[in-house]
Amino acid sequence: MPLNLLKTYPQQLELAHLNTHQRRTSLSGVFKRDIENNDAFRFRTKQVRPIKKEGQIPMDMLFDHLITREDMDDKGNPLRTRSFEMARSERLHWIKHHIDEQYVVILEPQRSQMDYYLLTAYHLNESGGKRQIEKKFKKKLPEIH
């Protein structure tokens, strides 16, 4: 499991041979190193933080968003549950290094305009995913300094 802490971009984390508990422990170590305990986690010189919920920083919720995906029924409606997603998880350590053309990191500026909230990140491995992001990109807000 500590092997994943040695992985560097663009290598992918090794998770397929791990059971659910080992996988979560390994990914948690990478998350804590790169995001939770990383004071230098910045975008355009601004600190990137998770969304606050009721005055607390929900690191567990952010961690789950980075390694799972929302479950959908047959009609594409959300089921309010999440399932482990290998493609996101193998690239967890990529967030701090690079935004790949097939990997999306979602940031939201804080009201203070001093920092960003980190909302989620995921691999664009679904049909229409890249097209959907391109449509959203056309609607993006003007650049924030």
So what's the pLDDT on residue 24?
A: 96
So what's the pLDDT on residue 39?
A: 87
> Two tokens at 91?
């690239």
Query: CA angle at residue 22 from 66 to 30, to 5 degrees?
Result: 45
SS3 state of residue 46: strand
> Mean pLDDT over all residues of the chain?
85
Q: What is the pTM of this model?
A: 0.71
Judge whether residue 99 has pLDDT over 50.
no
Residues 29-71: pLDDT tens digits? 999 999 999 888 887 788 888 877 765 567 888 899 899 999 9
Sign of the Cα torsion 50, 51, 55, 57 reads negative
Give 120's pLDDT tier (boundaries 50, 70, 90): confident
Dihedral class, residue 76 (left if φ above 0, else alpha if ψ from -120 to 50, else beta): left
**Residue that wins the pLDDT comparison between 133 and 88:** 88
